[in-house]
A and B are shown apart, each in its own frame.
Chain A
Amino acid sequence: MKKHYSLFIVLIGLISGLVTGLLGIGGGTVLVPAMTSILNEKEHVAHGTSLAVILPTALISTVIYSFNRYVNIGLAIQIAISGMIGGYMGAKLMNRLPSAILRKLFAVFLIIAGLKMVI
């Protein structure tokens, strides 16, 4: 791997980490497209590798948030447990639902929610 290429990868990490820390979102929305379209990685590699990156990133962000009392552990546990059930359902449903249409609907939902937050 060339040196400037490695630096470029670190830069992609920096941007995704910034998003994770600032907005509390796993940087998957930054990392996965960056890896598939810029670094030419396969989608399953991009998903797996992005998770491995987001875990330590989210962990350090959680620690900083909790220093400022912005983490409600009880609520997080409730979300994590119900989220796992949902995650299992989602993975199963992916084979049966028209995920392309759902993806578009979700995109429209994000835009509307974003507009509501901005205005």
Chain B
Amino acid sequence: MMPIYMIGIITGIISGMAMGGGTFLIVALVFFTNISQHVAQGVSLASFLPTAVVAIIVHFRQGNIKVKLALLLIAGSLCGAIVGAILATKLETALLRKIFGFYLIGTGGFLLWQSRKTPLGSFERRMKNEEGRKK
């Protein structure tokens, strides 16, 4: 058993580096503790909420949120989430875990492909963007 707070800290570090900590959190909970796939997903969703509120306030103050774009996306994503969440609660654990596994392989493959296209880290990339905007 891996201690919960250690899983939380690593999840936070990965999220802080903008790599998607939720995937790590669910994998760690399923593999290193005795928590089921369904509960791991529920905990991932719930634990995201308080951090997201803080992050949104910061991003909003920096003008990083396009409200109209966000509202359109929200209109779609709320419908998708209701369908997805109800579907998840109806699926058997083994099947849900398999679907999750396929998604991980896809995300991992995409991250690899993306990193080939942009060999710079996100920090260096952002610095470059910043320079580009000043010009």
Contacts and interface: CB of A to CB of B under 8 A. Distances in A.
Interface in A5-19: 6, 9-19
Contacts of B46: 62, 65-66, 71, 73, 76, 80
Interface string B69-96: 1101111111111111111110000000
A83 B64 contact: no
Given A17-B77, A83-B11, A115-B101, A65 B45 contact: yes
A26 B69 contact: no
A98 to B, nearest CB: 6
Contact of A13 (B16, B77, B110, B126): B77
Interface string A6-45: 1001111111111111111111110111010001011111
Contact-residue bracket for chain B: 35 or more
Contacts of B59: 44, 47-48, 51-52
Nearest to A21: B84
Contacts, number: 388
Given A9-B69, A52-B56, A88-B12, A118 B102 contact: yes
Contacts of A108: 108, 112
Nearest to B22: A25
Interface of A is mostly: helix
B89 A65 contact: yes
A64 to B, nearest CB: 4
A83 B81 contact: no
A49 to B, nearest CB: 5
A4 interface: no
Given A52-B70, A118-B102, A103 B42 contact: no
Contacts of A52: 56, 59-60, 65, 70, 74
Contact of A48 (B4, B62, B78, B121): B62
Interface of A: 1, 6, 9-29, 31-33, 35, 39, 41-45, 47-49, 51-62, 64-68, 70-73, 75-95, 97-100, 102-104, 106-111, 113-118
3 smallest A-B Cβ distances: which pairs? A90-B16, A86-B12, A21-B84
Given A13-B74, A90-B12, 15 more contacts: A16-B76, A17-B79, A21-B81, A54-B52, A64-B89, A65-B38, A70-B89, A86-B14, A89-B16, A90-B16, A94-B17, A103-B19, A103-B115, A110-B27, A110-B111
